[in-house]
């Protein structure tokens, strides 16, 4: 099992220098991944994730980096493909990108973005197809409901071959994100039951793992990513994480939601739970 961090980009975290320092401390403390939010501003400081990830790439050498979660529907997919490829070059092939539908309808609508979840889901699927094509084909064309490209070429390509790993975020028991994830490189479980807004149980996690694995179409490795919080205590951390590892989780992502910068830094410096 590998261990990552889900790091805010708002409030006291909304500074690329702060995040780059945290990422370096995470690397030194034995973490395997450092992933940042991609959110719209809501009246508090927020750092653009691409600026933050550039600073992070330059301050680290081993740890995986990326977005958790990128709401692809409010980005131009070809620009995301270019930025991620550039970041993969800069970091020496360390990028992972997790995609999803993003914030609630009201947040999207406030910025003039598409609020309808069904439309955003179709945009997400088209965007994923465009990322794949631009990273793997010499000249790529695409004609969909929302996006159109004609004989375009992306250079430089990502360092990673055949492409940058793409995980899809999903809240169990809603199955559509898990069917989407099965076509790519991994699924990132939300730590809550998306329907009942409570902590996801181990049995529910097992059900989600079985569901997505039964539909996997990828020939290579498929990552099962679980998120949550663990204390600065090895035994307690093991008691929380080990059952999920035994149920199939290949990554554990330590969430920073609700933690002050000081508290999260202390948690990072303590190291992974296992």
R_g over Cα of the chain = 18
pLDDT of residue 216: 95
Helix (H) or strand (E) holding 95: strand 95-100
Provide the token pair at 131.
Answer: 């990322």
Q: What are phi and psi of 221, to 5 degrees?
A: -60, 150
Are the C-beta atoms of 89 and 159 separated by less than 8 Å? Answer: yes
- d(C-alpha 48, C-alpha 258), whole Å: 20
Least Cα distance to 8 among 274, 268, 261, 207 occurs for: 261
pTM of this prediction exceeds 0.85: yes
Average per-residue pLDDT in the chain? 95
The 10s digit of each residue's pLDDT in 131-152 is: 999 999 999 999 999 999 999 9
Output the pLDDT for position 178. 98
pLDDT at residue 273 greater than cutoff 90? yes
Q: 162 vs 197, which has greater pLDDT?
A: 162
Cα first-last separation, the chain: 9
Q: For residue 83, what are the contacts with CB-CB under 8 A and spacing of at least 6?
A: 50
**Per-residue pLDDT tens over the stretch 196-214:** 889 999 999 999 999 999 9
Tell me what pLDDT residue 25 has. 98
List of residues 6+ apart from 118 with CB closer than 8 A: none
Which pLDDT score, from 0 to 100, does residue 108 have? Answer: 76
pLDDT at residue 44, rounded to an integer:
87
pLDDT of residue 91: 99
The confidence score (pLDDT) of residue 197 equals 86
Helix (H, G, I), strand (E, B) or coil at 249: coil
Give the pLDDT confidence score for residue 82 in this predicted structure: 98
How much of the chain is helix, strand and coil, in % rounded to 5? Answer: 40, 20, 40
Phi and psi at 242, nearest 5°, equal -55, -45
The answer to whether the beta carbons of residues 267 and 234 sit under 8 Å apart is no
Highest-confidence segment of 6-20, 38-52, 253-267: 6-20
Q: Which helix (H) or strand (E) holds 151?
A: strand 148-152
Q: What is the percentage of the chain residues whose pLDDT exceeds 70? A: 100
Mean pLDDT lowest among 83-92, 100-109, 234-243 = 100-109
Tens-place pLDDT, residues 21-80: 999 999 999 999 999 999 987 788 999 999 999 999 999 999 999 999 999 999 999 999
Helix (H, G, I), strand (E, B) or coil at 33: strand
CA distances from 17 to 84, 95, 268 (A): 20, 19, 16
For 215-231, what is the mean pLDDT?
92
- Residue partners of 3: CB distance under 8 A and separation at least 6: 30, 31, 32, 33, 251, 252, 253, 254, 272, 273, 274
């Amino acid at each position: 099992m590998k261990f990552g961090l889900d790091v805010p980009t708002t409030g006291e975290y909304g500074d690329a220098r702060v995040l780059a320092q945290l990422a370096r401390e995470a690397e030194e403390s034995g973490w395997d991944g450092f992933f940042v939010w991609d959110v719209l501003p809501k009246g508090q400081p927020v750092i653009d994730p691409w600026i933050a990830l550039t600073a992070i790439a330059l301050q680290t050498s081993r740890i995986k980096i990326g977005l958790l979660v990128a709401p692809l529907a409010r980005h131009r997919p070809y620009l995301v493909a270019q930025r991620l490829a550039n970041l993969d070059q800069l970091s020496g092939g360390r990028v992972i990108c997790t995609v999803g539908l993003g914030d609630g309808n009201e947040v999207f609508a406030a910025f003039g973005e598409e609020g309808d979840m069904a439309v955003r889901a179709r945009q997400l699927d088209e965007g994923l197809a465009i990322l794949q094509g631009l990273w793997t084909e010499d000249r790529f064309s695409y004609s969909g409901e929302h996006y159109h490209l004609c004989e375009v070429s992306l250079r430089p390509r990502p360092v990673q071959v055949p492409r940058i790993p793409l995980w899809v975020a999903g809240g169990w028991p809603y199955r559509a994100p898990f069917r989407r994830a099965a076509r790519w490189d991994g699924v990132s479980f939300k730590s809550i039951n998306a329907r009942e807004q409570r902590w996801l149980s181990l049995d529910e996690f097992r059900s989600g793992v079985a569901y997505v694995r039964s539909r996997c179409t990828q020939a290579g490795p498929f990552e099962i990513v679980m998120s949550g919080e663990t204390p600065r205590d090895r035994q307690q951390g093991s008691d929380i994480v080990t059952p999920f590892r035994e149920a199939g989780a290949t990554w554990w992502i330590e969430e920073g939601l609700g933690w002050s910068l000081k508290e999260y830094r202390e948690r990072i410096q303590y190291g992974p739970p296992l």
